[in-house]
Structure formats: structure tokens, C-alpha cells
Amino acid sequence: MTNVIFVFFTNNILKANFPVLLTCEKEIVKIPFVPFTQILKAMEKEPQVIGADGVIPFQREKLGLKGSPTQVKKVFTPELKKRGKIYDLKEVSLEEAIKEIIGILKNKGLL
């Protein structure tokens, strides 16, 4: 198995084997407030439309469904069997959450 190393912004290093799944909730980063005047300015601008012959010319036969190497046969929502643990950084520090995650991964023999 290939090793993967995660370096967290707290300088903690986690080394694991694939497959590994770590996720991050959107609440971890605060999105800056956009002033209303900037929203109005953005609404006045026309978006740049780039076609297949645009800035980077593409081969038309490689675009869209016919050009895709992957063909989707069925789309479905999988059944939620077990919910993972959610760490709310308002209630627990990032360091504590990382230590607990590392402990869980070690107990399961993943580290």
C-alpha cells in the first residue's frame, strides 16, 4: 500500500496507508463578508464565455458525454449506515480532535 502523509496546520503529522478518508466541514473556515456594492458591481459584468475553440482549443470529440472515458450507468444515493463523528471546533480544540482521530485510527489498526 502507498503511504500518505497529512500535515495539519497545527504541525501535527499523520501517516496512514490508503484507503483513507478525512473530511472537513465548511464551518471550519469563515467566509468573508462581501459588501453589497461589490455584489452590484459583479452583477453588472458580463461573464467571459469560452467555447471549444476558445483560449485552449479542445478536440470536440473529447468533449461531453461521447468524449468522456467514464460512462455513468446509474446514479443513486447510498443508504447512510453509520454516521461518522463530527468535531465541533467551538466545543473542542483542533489539537484534541486530531489526537482523538489519531487514537481511533490506531485502535482500528490503520496507523
Answer whether 99's CB lies under 8 Å from 107's CB: no
- What is the model's pLDDT at position 1? 45
Answer whether 10's CB lies under 8 Å from 95's CB: yes
Answer whether 110's CB lies under 8 Å from 20's CB: yes
Going from N- to C-terminal start, the domains of the chain cover 1-25
Per-residue model confidence as pLDDT tens for the chain (111 residues): 445 555 555 556 667 776 777 776 666 667 778 889 988 998 898 887 776 666 666 777 777 777 777 777 888 888 877 777 888 888 888 888 888 888 888 888 888
Q: pTM to 2 decimals?
A: 0.32
Integer Cα distance of 97 and 88 in angstroms: 9
- What is the model's pLDDT at position 29? 65
DSSP characters over 60-105: GGGSHHHH-S-------PPP--SPPP---TTTS-HHHHHHHHHHHH
